[in-house]
Structure 1
Amino acid sequence: MNTTYLLSRRFVSGAVLAAATALGGCAAVQTTDSGTVGVDRKQYMSGMVSEQALQQEAAQQYSSLLSEAKAKGALDRDAAQTQRVQAIARKLIAQVSVFRPDAANWKWDVHVLSLDEVNAWCMPGGKIAVYTGLINKIKPTDAELAAVIGHEMAHALREHAREQVSQQMVTNMGLSVLSAVTGMGATADLGGALSEVMFTLPNSRTAEAEADRIGVELAARAGYDPRAAVTLWQKMGALSAGNAPPEFLSTHPSAASRSTDLTEAANKVMPLYQQAGGK
């Protein structure tokens, strides 16, 4: 019998078994309430990746990033700009209990980093950064800036990073079989996985759609015109026309239907915006 073929079959069988074991450790969870926009997809999270552990890792990485930015003179350099971003974020944070009450007790933190990229993000547990490149190049209104920040906050509320890391862990279970066969090391690096998910890998279209809708509702409840999400993405698209897309777009794929979806979501939450004093 061909020993290479036999080894290959054993590897495949082992990988399937490992993947099945990992999948068996995943649980279907509902990370947020559906809100007015109706986000109610069940998500599968691995028991190997706890919410607490990921938030702790995010806090450590965030602290390191802020320390590095401060050392370079790139942390909250413009006081007025920082105050503007933080004021908008505070209004959005005040609305998070609509989607998940526990998030109101997260240790939210918001800073502006003097980096030229058009980018913003929110790490697990509510660690937010907005880059000056986004502010200076897009020149967003307060409502458009609320759409950006609300979108990123929504990723954290829905625990999209944990969902992606869970999927990576399931894959790594299969790879661990290969490492056992070949003698090559393979370890589960939570910090590395989080960094890759946050700053390298794109979100899925499903995750993007959920973040769009929740972000629009957060903005509306906070008193920001939800229709600004549409003009924001139009500005993003115009900036990338004929050039390499901004960093914000490179990890946030924009489907042709995005404007339509955002318009529908904005119309759905307009009563909330009006109740908050909007016109």
Structure 2
Amino acid sequence: MNIGKKLRAAILAALLTFAPLHSAAPVEAAALNPVLIGMSALGGYLAYQGTLKEMLAIGNNVDYQISGLKQDMEENGEDKDALNREVVDRVLGRLTEHGEYALSINSLPFLWRVNASDAFNAACYPTDYITVNRGLVRALHHDEDELAAVLGHEMTHGLRQHSAKNYAKAVAESYAGIAIGSAADNLDWQKLNAIVGYAIAKDVTLPSEIEADEGGFYLMTTAGFNPGGGAAAMARMAYYLTYETQDIREYQDPFEDPNAPNYNDHPAMLERIERLAGMMCAYGMGHVTVKNGADVYIDGEKLLTADWDADYNNTQENAYLIAGGLAKAFHDHAAFADWQFTTAPNGRISYLNEDRVYEKLKKFVARHHAEERLAMLVRTAYASSEDKTMRKKIAAEEKARSDTWQKIREKALDAKGELVKQLRYNADRYSDNGMAKEALFLMERAFAAKNPDDIAENYAIRGRARAVAGDYSAALADSDHAVELDAKNIYNFLNRADVHRMMGEREKALADLEKSQALDEKNPFIYKMRGEIYNETGEKDAALAAYKDYWRYAPNAQDIPDEYMKDVDAEAYDKIIKEREKKELEKAEKEKDKMGEKT
């Protein structure tokens, strides 16, 4: 959620590198060189286009995605609390599998982890890696609807490729600032830096945060979560950051003037609550509203007043979750009869189903003995002419959103061969890391593309991914077909060799490596895999010989086991050990610094 602040800091740091820090008189219009200003506009545009291309390429590379994941875990540690991980896995699993969205052809599937940071935060990297702080999960008390709103927000950043686009825009803004400064005779660089920082926050990051709130709302509701979860999450965040946080960097002043100039790159909390509450109301066909942070209304008639039921005052959260349950029921059911109000012999009134999304609604309606009033208000709501009008409006808006996602899917099917080639590369790198699900997802996209680029290689890489998944029969069928289609592509044999190896068929794997060597004896992967096979079978001399050949054709390789590397190249081995010790020392120093900060 605060990744935008890091982005702005990086851009401003770059700007300060080029700008002198002395004070000067404010810039005057007459002092600006119009030619240089025109050139700065063109330069800013070119900077934007070049940076955007580079950032999108980074975002579509599995190596960067996994590197970001590993760096996050190294810096923050992985959360050891099973409950935290389980609830995040459950929520993001449901969002990714059941929410309505479409990935651009140059976007990676989402990965996520819960890190051990206690800060109230989550962020989506340009590579669609989502990091979730355990501090966020705990502060939201594991509430799945509130987490769905926050994580849907982060997913929307990824789906809209906000990080790449915002970084490119920020570079362009900074470029323009530097150009203006260079074109001015007298300029206060510190003021210019402040102006650029403010512009990045308000013109670049802030609009994407508003878009992410909106996209997250529709993503979570299509996945079946409570439509009040977004407003409830913002209410919880406001309470936590004002009254509970022990981190001065998170604290917000509840009495701060919201209209005063500031560098905040996120919308004001009250504004976010009101916007998300308005979206919840519209989702419920306009019937449901919350007033005074506690009173739940249906078409202007008060149903009940929420209260708190936790170890802190969560009244406002409860009000939005109650209202969200009503909104979902109005949205999902076209008629009063669909609510299935029935009276049992004991006089108790039941309605709707036992879906978790209605828990707060049913709890507080029962507490207030408001079942009959609820039935009466719901019946009246469906009888109004506004209900039918609103249903047509909401249906049209939902169709428009679905059509937009469909266009993205169709554009992906029309992808150029280079993008399909990148799908294969990314799939193979997922397989390298034992991530069969992600590899097979990308290969499904590659096969669906109208321009498959290299059909034989598609089969080879899907075959390897299937072997990683343990489906050896299908893996071998794909691998054999790849070789049948193209027996001149060395990678088709290398992939099949790896499939045989995973199946435990050592001799067949080595035979395919022989065929690979006949096609290109300088390909280092032949010797790498051969060394691994011999090492696995305990044939140390043969493994050493293979690793020596591997080093000859890949002299910067970092994946030769230590027991062989010291005999392959003793000098290089010593450098590797020293570099490893240096990194471990740096890591220990960072851990020591973190412990010092906590104490």
| TM > 0.5 | yes
Match of 2:146 among 144, 147, 154: 144
User: 1:176 and 1:104, CA in 2 relative to 1: closer, same or farther beyond 3 A?
Assistant: closer
- 1:67 aligns with 70
1:112 match: 114
Could you say what secondary structure the match of 1:252 adopts? Answer: coil
Native 8 Å contact 1:58 1:124 kept in 2: no
The structure number with the bigger radius of gyration is 2
Structure 1 residue matching 2:120: 3-state secondary structure:
coil
1:153 aligns with 2:155: yes
Q: Would you say 1:18 and 2:40 are equivalent positions?
A: yes
Deviations 1:250-269 (A, max 9, x none): 75342432222101212333
**How many percent identity over aligned positions?**
20
1:81 aligns with 2:84: yes
Give the TM-score taking structure 1 as reference length: 0.67
Residue 189 of structure 1 is matched in structure 2 by none
Alpha-carbon distance between aligned partners in 1 of 2:284 and 2:139, rounded to the nearest angstrom:
28
* SS of match in other structure, 1:225: coil
Deviations 1:1-47 (A, max 9, x none): xxxx9xx654x632432223533x59xxxxxxxxxxxxxxxxxx735
Contact 2:95–2:148 (8 Å) recurs in 1: yes
* C-alpha distance in 2 between matches for 1:248 and 1:76: 26
Q: Secondary structure at the match of 1:102?
A: coil
Contact 1:49 1:166 in 2 (8 A): yes
Structure-2 residue corresponding to 1:90: 93
Aligned to 2:237: 236
Q: Which has the higher helix share?
A: 2
**More deviation, 267-276/168-177:** 267-276
Distance 1:82 1:121 in 2: 16
Cα deviation for residue 167 of structure 1 reads: 1.6
1:120-199 aligned at under 5 Å gives the runs 120-174=122-176
How high is the TM-score relative to the length of structure 2? 0.34
Q: Distance in 1 between matches of 2:221 and 2:91?
A: 12
CA displacement at 1:123 relative to structure 2:
1.5
C-alpha deviation, 1:209, in angstroms: 1.9
Q: Which amino acid aligns with 1:229?
A: G
1:266 is the counterpart of 2:280: yes
Structure 2 spans left out of the alignment, 5+ residues: 1-27, 184-196, 254-263, 286-326, 334-354, 359-599
User: What does residue 222 of structure 2 align with?
Assistant: 221
Distance 2:51 2:102 in 1: 22
Summarize deviations over 1:109-160 as a string: whole Å, max 9, x none: 0100000110001122421111011122331411111111001111222222
Distance across 2 between alignment mates of 1:226 and 1:59: 36
Tell whether 2:268 aligns with 1:254.
Answer: yes
Structure scoring higher RCO (CA < 8 A, sep ≥ 6) equals 1
Secondary structure at 1:46's aligned position in 2? helix
Q: Which residue of 2 aligns with 1:209?
A: 210
Distance change >3 Å, CA 157–CA 201, structure 1 → 2: same
Aligned residues, how many? 236
Alpha-carbon distance in structure 2 between the residues aligned to 1:111 and 1:65: 11
Q: Which moved more, 1:120-129 or 1:142-151?
A: 120-129
Tell me: CA distance 1:176–1:56, structure 2 relative to 1, closer, same or farther (3 Å).
farther
